[in-house]
A and B are shown apart, each in its own frame.
Chain A
Amino acid sequence: MAAITFEHISKRFGSVNANSDVSFSVNKGEILALLGENGSGKTTLMNMLSGIYYPDEGRILVDDKPVSIRGPRDAYALGIGMVHQHFKLVDVFTAAENLVVGLDPDKKLDRKAIAADIKEICDKYQFDVNPDKKVYDMSVSEKQTLEIVKVLYRGANILILDEPTAVLTPQETERLFRVLRNMKQDGKTVIIITHKLHEVLSISDRVAILRKGEYIETVDTADATEEKLTELMVGKKVDLEIERPEVKDKKLRLEIRNINCINSEGVKILKDISFDVYGGEILGIAGISGNGQKELLEAIAGLEQIEEGGSIKYHAPDAKEAVEMKGMTPRHIRELGVHLSFVPEDRLGMGLVGSMGMTENMMLKDYSKGRGVFTSKKAPRELAEKIKEELEVVTPGVTTPVRRLSGGNVQKVLVGREIAASPTVLMTAYAVRGLDINTSYTIYHLLNEQKKKGVAVIYVGEDLDVLLALCDRILVLCGGQANGILDGHTADKQEVGRRMSVIVEEKDGEGHE
């Protein structure tokens, strides 16, 4: 019997199809893994089940009856509860208080009775939650446990977990899986969103695969292998016809050895990473988002604290000896010619100031060049005009706030500014995210131009087809580790996809010596 059935579900955000015509069902009492790459529409689909979004087309059936889920309250009433990737907890409340937020407003706030309820749930599924502990004192794993207890406390029979293991250690993951199995035994239905293949194989009964917003297939886990799942997840290779000029005159620029980084939450985000970067080639970095791409680029640019040990050696074009870049200020690193054109989730968030025009944004990185206390606007204005001209930025003028430009034009401004400073190493991240095809090709062209000039280009990308067509070598990151460097000309899409989710022990391909 089906606990949930999706019938022809579609959801659009602006011009982007997050889900198109998705139809499949989830059986009662099973653990279903929802597998897919970044942006394949897994979370969007589940958000429609939990009442965060409403489908544009199609309908959802719960227990074979069509339902309309207009908000989280409706979802709870149907016994559907979701544990979001970003926890919905109030830091200054205790576990018990968080549990009852939004429930029965007219009932007494009896903290003792709530604690007793918590204990009951904990005993049943073998959780460990201290009802009086404040959330800000909890570890990530404790917070997640609390979220699960919260969902169960609200009487959920269908549990959705969005990337639950992304923040957990292997031991904590094992404990979570034990709990999920206990819940399954109790007759609950569990949907787990993930892109980690080995976890899919170890916990789920069936796997539903989404690719680029479309439903592909559901397979029984018993019949599945890592290779088969990867193939379904990434699909066949698509030829994009992106030009890839021959590498000429390859010169060593960066020697990165044994880099380790720990993020603000105390999680080791980069583990012992070593690789070389050469001028005159494009090095691609592939990985599932949040596997250390951002931190790696920031570590090179001097924005992220690197742990003891490890080194980043910079070989300037005409210098005899290499310089140690580790420990330098971001500004010093920039002056050496190592430029980061970072395009994070929010394009304006880092790199550009939305309310300033192109001219002022040009000045951001060399504002100190004015005379005395006064800034000089002449040079940046000329530069802005030049970028506008050459990259065909569509804007009323160089003084128009960049916030009012379209995504593609903002991207051009950002990349244009970095290129104009004639860097020797140019790092870009998600440079084409959210851009239309034509603008994307403009950006690829710009990067290729830099490559021909002998610049070492690092390209962090999401689309494997683009990475395979554009890059000369591809470094795959997995869980903060370097999981092999593949040759972009010969690498196989499945192989890249597999290395993104599973650590490969033997180091093959070229890579470092």
Chain B
Amino acid sequence: MNSFITLFQAAIAFGTVILFGCVGEILTERAGNLNLGVPGIMYLGGIASLASVFIYEGSTDSPSKILCVIIAMVSAFIASALGGLIYAFLTISLKANQNVCGLTLTIFGGGVANFFGGSLNTLAGRFEAVSVPVTSAAFRTNIPGISNAGTIGKLFFSYGFMVYLAIAIAIIVHIFLHHTRRGLNLRTVGESPQTADAAGINVDRNKYLAICIGAGISGFGGVYYVMDYIKGTWANDGSIEKLGWLAVALVIFTTWKSSHAVWGSYLFGLLYWMYYYIPGLTRRSQELFKMLPYVVTLLVLIVNSLRSGKDKQPPKSLGLAYFREER
């Protein structure tokens, strides 16, 4: 039982990182833009939050927990949205190839983050690594009283606020996309920009907003990873990138529905950590188990293409630049 609880908790923590990345990417892809820069954006979000609170914590003797959280979240959102803006400018205004721009953003984000991450480690001192204890503690604060109350408490109420924020954002994005007129307009842009244009929808503005806000949401994944998952430190080990790609895979797994992303992300977490709880695995067979999320995504792709349900396909204009028709 105990090992199940720890597996479940590990799955939720892991899932939360990719849930943010995935929901942001769903918003972006619904506008018809395939942003493969998710890993880079998560890097940007992570490093921006870490750097800003590191400076804040260093500048005062008694840092305020609330302010720490606000600074981390706002700076991460801005940095990630700026990453999205670069991508948006290249793909919408300059009509550059989306795949190439996205991949470039991933490399760029990783480079910038690891450069500054390394610098922060140097700043922190020769033998110490960077750490932001106050902020990290604030991020990891759980609801006192019920978080340890029995199995239910441990399973569902033992996490920092960002776990619940991720679920809330996923649901809000779902309601926005499927139950509001603005969401309908945005989906029209992703399905058929010609139709959107003829209906008087500003295609470029919708795309820009969706990409920048989507990038901001994806960036929160980096914040959660840095502040909660690795407890306010920095690691130049490329794990954020790995998680970023899983977030992209999750978008396909959910068939572009953020409501599915909630359970999908935890399922990915469960599959990823399963090796840890299966007795008798060698190092090599562990790696095989870590592949499970990708295998499941492949299976979903195969099943969906066999079913040929039109509702489960990617947005029709995904990856295509929009040119207003001219003769």
Contact = CB atoms under 8 A, between A and B. Distances in A.
A102 B196 contact: yes
A91 B199 contact: no
A52 B197 CA distance: 9
Interface residues of B, number: 26
B192 A90 contact: yes
Name A's interface SS: loop
A84 B325 CA distance: 13
A15 to B, nearest CB: 12
A91 B310 contact: yes
A422 B197 CA distance: 48
Contact count band on A:
20 to 34
A37 to B, nearest CB: 17
B311 A52 contact: no
Nearest to B200: A73
A295 to B, nearest CB: 24
A100 B199 CA distance: 9
A92 B199 contact: no
A107 B316 contact: no
B192 A71 contact: no
B184 A100 contact: yes
A103 B200 CA distance: 8
B181 interface: yes
Contact of B310 (A52, A76, A84, A136): A136
Contacts of B191: 90-93
Given A71-B200, A92-B310, A109 B187 contact: no
Nearest to A75: B200
A102 B182 contact: no
B198 A52 contact: yes
A13 B254 CA distance: 45
Given A90-B191, A92-B191, A109 B181 contact: yes
Nearest to A14: B327
Interface in B295-327: 310-311, 313, 316, 325-327
Which of B185, B187, B195 neighbours the largest number of chain A CB atoms within 10 Å of its CB?
A: B195
A88 B194 contact: yes
Given A88-B194, A90-B188, A100 B200 contact: no
B195 A92 contact: no
Contacts of A72: 197-200
A252 B264 CA distance: 67
A109 B194 contact: no
A102 B311 contact: no
B145 to A, nearest CB: 39
Contact of A102 (B199, B310, B325): B199
Contacts of A271: none
Contacts of B95: none
A102 B201 contact: yes
A73 B180 CA distance: 20
A433 interface: no
B179 interface: yes
Interface in B175-228: 179-185, 187-188, 191-192, 194-201
Contacts of A102: 185, 188, 196, 199-201
A167 interface: no
A116 interface: no
A207 B148 CA distance: 82
A101 B179 contact: no
Contacts of A162: none
Contacts of B185: 101-102, 105
A403 interface: no
Interface in B113-134: none
Contacts of B179: 109
A76 B200 CA distance: 9
Contacts of A30: none
Nearest to B198: A88
Nearest to B325: A52
Contacts of A52: 198, 325
A109 B199 contact: no
Contacts of B184: 93, 97, 100-101, 109
Contacts of A107: 181
Nearest to B188: A101
Interface in B160-181: 179-181
Contacts of B310: 91-92, 134, 136
Contact of B181 (A13, A93, A104, A134): A104
A468 interface: no
A89 interface: yes
Contacts of B201: 101-102
A390 interface: no
A106 interface: yes
Contacts of A18: 327
Contacts of B197: 72
Interface string A87-123: 0111111000100111111111100000000000000
B198 A103 contact: no
B192 to A, nearest CB: 5
A151 B6 CA distance: 58
A51 B281 CA distance: 67
Given A109-B180, A109-B184, 6 more contacts: A72-B200, A84-B198, A88-B198, A89-B195, A91-B191, A102-B196
10 contacts: A72-B200, A88-B198, A89-B192, A92-B311, A101-B185, A101-B199, A108-B181, A109-B179, A109-B183, A134-B310
Interface of B: 179-185, 187-188, 191-192, 194-201, 310-311, 313, 316, 325-327
Question: Top 7 A-B pairs ranked by shortest CB distance?
Answer: A102-B199, A73-B200, A88-B195, A88-B198, A90-B191, A13-B327, A102-B201
